[in-house]
Amino acid sequence: MMSDHYVKVKVQLEQMKSFGKEDAEKNEEEEEEEGVDAEKQTSMSSPPPALVSPDPPSITTADRDASNTSITCKHRGGKSRGGKNSSGKHNITDLALHGSGKKSNRLGGHERTLHIRGTGKILQGKSENNGNYVTIHPSKNIQETCREDVFKHARKRRPVTVDTAKAKTSLEALKLSIKQLKWKEFPLGRRAPCDIYWHGVSFHDNENIASGQVNKFPGMIEMLRKINMSRAVRTMQELFPDEYDFYPRSWILPEEYQQFATQIRMVKENDATVNPTFIVKPDSGSQGDGIYLIRDPSDLKLMGGSQAKQSVVQEYIHKPLLIDKLKFDIRLYVLLKSMEPLEIYIAKEGLTRFCTEPYQEPSQKNLSHVFMHLTNYSLNVHSCNFVHSDSQSTGSKRTLSSVLYRLAAKGVDIKKVWSDIIALVIKTIIAVVPELRVYYQADIPPGKPGPTCFQILGFDILLMKNLKPVLLEVNSNPSMRIEHEQEVAPGVFEYVPSPVDEEVKVGVIRDTLRLMDPFSRKSSISQPKAGGFEHREEIPMEAETQEKSPDDGALPSLCLKQVYPKYTKQFNHLRLVERIAALFIRFLGVKGNMRLGPTAFRTFIRTCKLSNSNFTMASVDILYIDITRRWSGAMPDSREAGMGLQAFVEAFFHLAGRRFKVLTMREQVVSLVELCEAQLEAPSSVEDRRSVSCSRALPRTNRTQTLGLANPQLDSPAPTRRAASQDYRLHQRLKPRTLRANVEN
Ligand code: ADP
């Protein structure tokens, strides 16, 4: 037993050591060879992920007594940088966890230091392993060469200007970042335009920005609210049930109360021993506000004063992974660098937030123990058990790498965990992008001068006991505070620096700025002008050269890692709703509009030739009225009349079902999208010519790669397809209300 464990830990560290060699500029053949070795060895533990081979957080361990700390110094243009091996597979190249085992002791463990690449900082942790590996320290000469390089590339252009007037709580971390970059800050704003505007809350914090870049997308706050998020993921679950199983089953209240109550009753009737727990979250709540656990639908607090409370009730994940007997969650920072083309970066370092009361599976007795069930920092900080620690691997808030390091030492296949997390992030963004596009074109219509956008998102992820990551929520405004409130004397609170937060957050902001640097952005991946939805035929598969810009100077290598378009192949087929959104936007017509009127819907049907003797224009009108009315009931606070994107998607699914009856749900939708796109491309249609004049050009979003044939699941054997369509029917039952019979069938 012990020796098995020992072998596993050794294998993990061996693999990590091999990744670390990237820093020593090893060539591609070497990488492949080592990959083979590692594979042979891992067969003893769990197999490596098949889907993606992402780059986990960069961790380098070095012996504490090593005289020099591990400095990562890369020569630009190095061949192996996060690249592919000769077999065309992406290697996990940025994980470097290695150290000398001189003092190591399997039973006792020993102190190690972790170097977090991209931050220039060292952290200490205890390891239980006994690996005998040598840290790769660049020689003094290499370090000096790097510095010389820096001076050679001394900046010859004006500094990038950043308007920080609206940065709010991000200000401290932002200031530090700007200082490290030697950029110019405008704390009170500036009359002349700045290159970058940093907003603390929303795109609209500054109005009338006509150029530059803003760190918020219009509509992101709305899209990431709990209800909208659940709807967006649910749409994807209908199309790709297996791919979107990382989000707990959810019901939207009050409108789905009946479905929720009925389903729970049926589950309990079927098996009396089953007693599931649910978590109720107010729609626009944050920081754990208003959240509570229930075991029976009758415990729902449906009313907030005289109004029905808008909230989401969700399956409670009752078997989370525990560390030190405590539940914890992961806060991962993700940069949506651009929406068109889609570019996503993930921070290699994140935070973990720990509960402050040992975890027990939910029971009627402990349902109200927030310190046991909710990981929110803002709640747990008030517990007397909360541990503020200057160390990044202890206390109630720790770095993600310290947790992964600990799991790796216990034999966990952290490559697989990280790979699953990356997949979860990409899929989630793919789910919200369609509606974000609608918001984007409404705020910055094509042709109108405006800024381009980027945004740092905070993903909250829970690891289940079986190590599967589960998405809890995505924050559009993740806290970028680098200090925390502390009770310095009884009743006296003060803000004191938080080294863990500073470590992670300054790196994320600084490197986001570096990636957005208007002077070093490569033209090949530049974003089209605001509102532009031109399709670029070729999405660059690698943007590795971006990871260090010529003006980066002595800065550490980037702590943000590109995951999309890097992993386009694995995820592109999921971008199906985006194509429906592109059709929707095309027919919106009037600038700034977010809803389709009845005439525009008719135009869409005519242009795409979807009506016939069985589906007359009168039926089209009924379909429009029926769906639109239902959705306006589901979204009572929406002031605009007409058909929003979510309603349009429902109508589209319905049309697809009518048209391609024998196919599976997804095949139906793919076929209808293709049909519409083909009709819109045909230049002969009168309607088409008319609609083109008042609408946007249809982005031909990655069409060929998204088609059914490229999608392995569409080629799946009949039983799988049947299962998928059954799954769809199940989800259909969860929809607000099924389509009424007055729609012609
Ligand atoms: P908020 O925006 O208020 O923080 P979250 O969705 O992040 O809302 O939930 C708050 C906390 O509740 C999470 O940090 C997590 O600890 C816990 N939690 C949320 N959803 C679930 C779930 N489905 N299963 C288990 N725990 C959950």
- Write out pLDDT tens, residues 686-703: 444 444 333 444 444 443
User: pTM for this one?
Assistant: 0.74
The structural domains of the chain, with segments of one domain joined by +, span: 220-248+317-518+556-567, 575-679
Please, which pLDDT band fits residue 548 given cuts at 50, 70 and 90?
A: low
Q: Is-contact 518 195, C-beta < 8 A?
A: yes
**Ligand 1 center from residue 436 Cα (angstroms):** 24
Q: Is the pLDDT of residue 17 over 60?
A: no
For ligand 1, atom 14, the nearest C-alpha belongs to 375
Backbone dihedral angles phi then psi of residue 582, each to the nearest 5 degrees = -65, -40
Please, which pLDDT band fits residue 685 given cuts at 50, 70 and 90?
A: low
Residue with tokens 């109108």: 448
Element (H, E) at 6: helix 2-20
For ligand 1, atom 11, the nearest C-alpha belongs to 374
Measure the CA–CA gap between 736 and 566, rounded to whole angstroms: 36
Residue with tokens 């660098």: 337
Backbone dihedral angles phi then psi of residue 270, each to the nearest 5 degrees = -65, -35
Q: Give me the CATH code for the 575-679 domain, please.
A: 1.10.238.10
- Beta 469-475 vs 455-463: how paired, if at all? antiparallel
For ligand 1, atom 17, the nearest C-alpha belongs to 374
Q: Is the pLDDT of residue 281 over 80?
A: yes
Residues whose CB is less than 8 angstroms from the CB of residue 235 and which lie 6 or more positions away in sequence, other chains included: 431, 577, 646, 649
Q: Is the pLDDT of residue 730 over 70?
A: no
In testing the pocket of ligand 1, which one of 246, 281, 459 has its CB within 8 Å of the most ligand atoms?
281
Average pLDDT over residues 283-295: 93
Q: Which atom of ligand 1 is nearest to the CA of 289?
A: 3
Q: Return the minimum-mean-pLDDT range out of 224-238, 269-283, 300-314.
A: 300-314
Average pLDDT over residues 503-530: 76
Instruction: Summarize pLDDT for 103-140 with one digit per residue, the tens.
Output: 333 333 333 333 434 333 333 333 333 333 323 333 44
Average pLDDT over residues 264-277: 94
Q: Return the minimum-mean-pLDDT range out of 57-61, 346-350, 443-447, 478-482.
A: 57-61
pLDDT at 156: 65
DSSP H helices, 133-256, are 140-152, 171-181, 220-224, 226-239
**Ligand 1 center from residue 248 Cα (angstroms):** 11
Q: How many CB atoms lie within 10 A of CB 489?
A: 7
- Beta 250-253 vs 196-197: how paired, if at all? unpaired
pLDDT at 633: 75
What is 220-248+317-518+556-567's CATH superfamily? ATP-grasp fold, B domain (3.30.470.20)
Q: Which residues line ligand 1 (CB under 6 A)?
A: 248, 279, 281, 285-289, 291, 314, 316-317, 329, 374-376, 460, 462, 472-473
Token pair of 195, please? 């290159």
Helix axes 414-443, 645-659, angle to 10 degrees: 110
Q: Is the pLDDT of residue 705 over 50?
A: no
Q: Is the pLDDT of residue 84 over 90?
A: no
Average pLDDT over residues 71-100: 34
Which 8-state DSSP code applies to residue 90? Answer: B
For ligand 1, atom 27, the nearest C-alpha belongs to 316
Of 10-19, 85-94, 203-212, 227-236, the range with the highest mean pLDDT is 227-236
**Ligand 1 center from residue 462 Cα (angstroms):** 9
| Bigger pLDDT: 82 vs 154 | 154
User: What average pLDDT does the structure give for the chain?
Assistant: 75
CATH topology identical between 220-248+317-518+556-567 and 575-679: no
Cα torsion angle, 7, 421, 668, 725, sign: positive
Share of the chain above pLDDT 90, in %: 58
CA dihedral 652, 654, 658, 663 (to 10 degrees): 80
**Ligand 1 center from residue 374 Cα (angstroms):** 6
pLDDT at 552: 59
Q: Which atom of ligand 1 is nearest to the CA of 460?
A: 7
pLDDT at 277: 97
